[in-house]
Amino acid sequence: MRRFVLSTVGTSLLTNQIDRSNEAEKNWYALLRDSANVQRDNLNPEILQIIETLSDRATAILQSSTVPGIRRASAELNGIYGIYDGNLSDARMDSHWLISTDTAQGIQTSEVVKSFLESQGILAQIYTPDKLSTADTEEFGNGIDSILEWLENTIPGHKEAQDRICFNLVGGFKSLQAYLNTIGMFYADEIVYIFESPQSELIKIPRLPLQFDTSGIDPMQFALMSAGAWIKLSEINDSREALLYQVEDEVTLSNWGRLIWNQSKSELLSQDLLSFPRLIYQDSFRSDYQTIRNSKEKVKLQETLAKVSYLLSKHQGNTGPLKQDGGVLYEVYTNKGGIAHFRVTQGIRISCTSSDGQLTLRRYGTEPDVNNNP
């Protein structure tokens, strides 16, 4: 069985290379600590040079050390070696992702780990959520949202291939580990920790049979918030604080709300056709929906309707943003009486007409079918 291995990456691989006995390097740790959340373009040349020097040292140690030495040098590699019982040759057929903060030190450390894995014949990739850092709550929360979206787009394919999903949380910042530990309970088959000693065995936490109450979730509202909408708190049917992020009197999905929605939307969006603001359904469209037998196709369709509804509401019924959106690509047919269409997927279209800030949806189906009979 192949594995999908996600490893969080910290910066200890760099800071461990500081020579504390060297007078010239005594302040390096403090300098790196104070600049831990800074992106490369915003660092002064002195700190950049320190990072480069420590990176070169770390690379040299990894390439010249025995396996115990490598595991002592890198918490991330310690976890990966532990997963494969000390033999990385078994890792060469697996998919490895390194999760880095969007910082100079985080990215540099990830590059060192990636290069070492590649030297062992292992294909590794780095995922850096935009602006993810521990600098402040907002940037960290936005980074977690990016991770959740990335996981939702990445994990299902590996699940379908029956790969074993493993979260290696030995390295990385404690705040990121804490979030991914909870997220891993939903996505991972196992979560891996390990003690600092190279001889320590892995601590494996298996998937727990978690269940969550979705009875109060309004699928239409949650689909809209997932698409980017903010809704008046007074209008929300499920006002559980943990699921919502509030600014003044409006709310959208919190990190945990998005996580719960990602886990439940397959069931909630594959049922009846939902009514979204500014969308009207002709009987022909409802009939086309009833012919859909694939639940994933229904989910994708309703997510698209939520996105279109959100964009129309945000722009007071103006279809211009629908034309500019690369996923929707709204376009009016030539010589068809003002009928327009937009895409659900590369080959699936919905035909519609626009009037008074609303779209009346006419047909749903393959592009040729809808084009020939809009």
DSSP for 271-337? Answer: SSPPP-TTEEE-HHHHHHHHT---HHHHHHHHHHHHHHHHHHHHTTT-SHHHHH-TTT--EEPTTST
Q: What does the chain come to in residues?
A: 374
Residue 63: pLDDT band (50, 70, 90) is very high
The pTM score is 0.81
Angle at 349 between CA 344 and CA 353, to 5 degrees: 110
Average pLDDT over residues 58-80: 92
pLDDT of amino acid 209: 73
Rounded mean pLDDT of the chain?
92
Average pLDDT over residues 184-194: 90
- List pLDDT tens digits, range 196-250: 555 667 788 887 777 777 878 899 999 999 999 999 999 987 667 888 988 999 9
Q: From edge to edge, which strands make up the β-sheet containing 124-127?
A: 124-127, 95-99, 3-8, 164-168, 190-194, 202-206
DSSP 8-class letter at 199: T
pLDDT of amino acid 196: 57
What are the residues whose beta carbons fall under 8 Å from the beta carbon of 342, sequence distance 6 or more?
Answer: 304, 308, 322, 328, 329, 330, 331, 349, 350, 352
pLDDT of amino acid 175: 86
pLDDT of amino acid 200: 64
CA distance 257 to 241: 9
Domains with residue ranges and CATH for the chain = 3-206 (3.40.50.10770), 213-263 (no CATH), 269-374 (3.30.2310.20)
The amino acid sitting at 172 is G
Would you say 127 and 98 are in contact if contact means Cβ atoms under 8 Å apart? yes
